[in-house]
Structure 1
Amino acid sequence: MEHNIENMEAIRTLFIGLVEAWNNGDGMAYANHFTDDADFVTVNGIYLKGRAEIAEAHQRLFNGPLKGSKLELTEDVHARFLTEDITIVHGGGEVKLENMNDNPEDRLSINTSVVVRQNGEWRITAFHNCSVQKIQGGFRK
């Protein structure tokens, strides 16, 4: 299925907004990038259901162990449109902790998302995040 440049830019903007909300430590702004009934699987396998749980869980992280952390996109988002209003998106990121001395070298992650357009706006309805694993001396992307 073909996609147009406008839709790709809107999806990139969605993920850039997600990063900005993380970097501002704002759980509600972060969760607003998801549908009300979104499914979210964290990097360590915790399952969150719905925007409210996503907001609450992330605000706890932003106030606690990930306070002051910064999320960086490590690659452009890659979208495969299933319909004009549904796409599968793969992206990569890395969380950098506030104290750079605490940053392990294995913080790269890759995520798979189902992104839908509702009422003209793109939102994430399913998100699965996992750590990138080293294989054969490098990273698999």
Structure 2
Amino acid sequence: MTATTHSSVPGVLTALESSWRDGDAAAYAALHSADATYVAFDGTVMTGRDEIADGHRPLFAGIMKGSRLTVVERTVHFPAPDTAIVVQRAGIIMRWQKNRTTPSAKRLSTNTTVLRHDGSGWSVTAFQNTRYHPWARTLMGRLMTRLTK
């Protein structure tokens, strides 16, 4: 792998965002490996391109129609030449939030994406999405912090 090969990872990430914005479940799923594992924010597990496409098709036709996947911050790490680990804070901007440039707090997630290079290109092999709710910012977290002072 070369630096040029590594520099193509952001292109795959941009393609994920574009296919989401376009509401194209097939294109979104095609960016994943045939045996990819995809864990949605609610814990739903989808395995393989067909399940990923089938899981996103009704979202893109329904509540997520016209939404945008927006990245707030991102880090990319290459633990091996053919593996990229992307950790990012991102979220969905809904279609009725046309003037927003960043996701609302309730739509913000932290996710980990693992990409592998198979010799011909990069694809997502694993994805884990977790809603971003820092414990210290919750009511219980604030109460517990005050009790320890």
TM-score between the two structures when normalised by the length of structure 2: 0.81
Mapped pair 1:65 → 2:63: yes
Q: What SS does the aligned partner of 2:43 have? A: coil
Q: Which stretches in structure 1 are left out of the alignment for 5+ residues?
A: none
**More moved, 118-127 vs 103-112:** 103-112
What is the one-letter code of the residue matched to 2:126? A
Shift of 1:4: 5.4
CA–CA distance in 2 between the matches of 1:44 and 1:135? 18
- Between structure 1 and structure 2, the one with the greater Rg is 2
Corresponding position of 1:124:
124
What is the one-letter code of the residue matched to 2:94? L
Larger strand proportion, structure 1 or 2?
Answer: 1
Shift of 1:9: 2.2
Shift of 1:134: 3.0
Corresponding position of 2:46:
48
Q: Which stretches in structure 2 are left out of the alignment for 5+ residues?
A: 139-149
Corresponding position of 2:79:
82
Report percent identity of matched pairs: 30
Shift of 1:135: 4.2
**CA-atom RMSD in angstroms:** 2.1
From 10, 17, 20, the equivalent of 2:18 is 20
CA–CA distance in 2 between the matches of 1:49 and 1:85? 21
Shift of 1:12: 0.9
TM-score between the two structures when normalised by the length of structure 1: 0.85
Larger helix proportion, structure 1 or 2?
Answer: 2
Shift of 1:137: 4.5
Corresponding position of 1:92:
89
Structure 1 runs of 4+ aligned residues shifted over 6 Å read none
Mapped pair 1:114 → 2:111: no
